[in-house]
Amino acid sequence: MPFDRSIKIAPSILSADFANFGAEIRAIEAHGADWVHVDVMDGHFVPNLTFGPMAVKAFRPHVKTVMDVHLMIAPVDPYIDAYAEAGADVLTAHVEAGPHIHRTLQAIRGAGMKAGVALNPGTPAEAVAHLLDLADLVCVMTVNPGFGGQKFIDMTAKVRSLRAMIGDRPVHVEIDGGVDPVTAPLVAAAGADVLVAGSAVFKGGSVDAPEVYGRNIQAIRAAADGAGAA
Ligand code: DX5
Ligand code: ZN
């Protein structure tokens, strides 16, 4: 399949009803989600705790698109096989999560998944300069990770630098945190192609009113597409 650089909206189920993940996943996919973003937090690397590989494995049969698993955990390496077994398509680790991100990315690919590397807001683009041939995705955090619903931190200069560093390699640039119809065009114009959005997608909707999810996704997509990628 050719590398797809078009805008993809990846709702984060961190903002879904935690008692109803299967129906929530089906609802967002039926209403325009391109990928499903799954935020794994360990209460150690980030000050919040979500779910582990057993829960992610239970989500898998509901996800018909791409299951994009964002690990906010340290260490990462002991859990890579468990997330492969859980059915992650993309597994993203933070560059700040340990001393051997290069080995981690090799191990993720070795386990049969696409490998992502995430950068906290305080980490420069150059941190991934020697990783771009090992990564399928670079995730630029536009909030400090741990919670949904935070204010967008402008990282457009970092996104532009990354796009230039990536060149024609088949590497996605994903934005995570505070993405909504106002901020999406900024990062799309800078060269991002995967837009994670939690609160901006789930706001006002429910599994009983999933058309709201559809409208929210469409509003983000229209704003991003209107910006025109650089
Ligand atoms: C933050 C998570 C994000 C989060 C985004 O730590 O990695 O995926 O759910 O949520 P919003 O879109 O509400 O900022
Ligand atoms: Zn995330």
For the stretch 109-121, pLDDT in tens is 999 999 999 999 9
What does the alpha-carbon distance between residue 180 and residue 163 come to, in Å, rounded to a whole number? 21
In a domain, 25, yes or no: yes
Which ligand does the CA of 9 lie closest to? 1
In a domain, 103, yes or no: yes
Q: Which domain holds residue 31?
A: 8-227
Would you say residue 1 has pLDDT above 80?
no
Tokens of 97: 């999560």
CATH number at residue 159: 3.20.20.70
Q: Which of 150, 155, 216 to mutate to test the pocket of ligand 1 (most atoms within 8 A of CB)?
A: 150
197 lines ligand 1 (CB under 6 A): yes
In a domain, 221, yes or no: yes
In a domain, 3, yes or no: no
Q: How confident is the model at residue 2 (pLDDT cuts 50, 70, 90)?
A: confident
Would you say residue 19 has pLDDT above 60?
yes
Mean pLDDT value across the chain: 97
In a domain, 125, yes or no: yes
What does the alpha-carbon distance between residue 189 and residue 204 come to, in Å, rounded to a whole number? 27
What does the alpha-carbon distance between residue 116 and residue 135 come to, in Å, rounded to a whole number? 6
Model pLDDT for residues 57-96, shown as the tens digit of each residue: 999 999 999 999 999 999 999 999 999 999 999 999 999 9
Domain count for the chain, please give it.
Answer: 1
Alpha carbon of residue 117 to chain centroid: 10
Q: Quick one: average pLDDT of 160-185?
A: 98
pLDDT of residue 159: 98
In a domain, 2, yes or no: no
pTM of the model: 0.98
pLDDT of residue 229: 54
39 is catalytic: yes
Which ligand does the CA of 148 lie closest to? 1
Would you say residue 230 has pLDDT above 90?
no
In a domain, 222, yes or no: yes
Residues of the chain with pLDDT > 70: what percent? 98
Would you say residue 132 has pLDDT above 60?
yes
Would you say residue 227 has pLDDT above 80?
yes
In a domain, 1, yes or no: no
Q: Which DSSP category does 42 fall into?
A: B
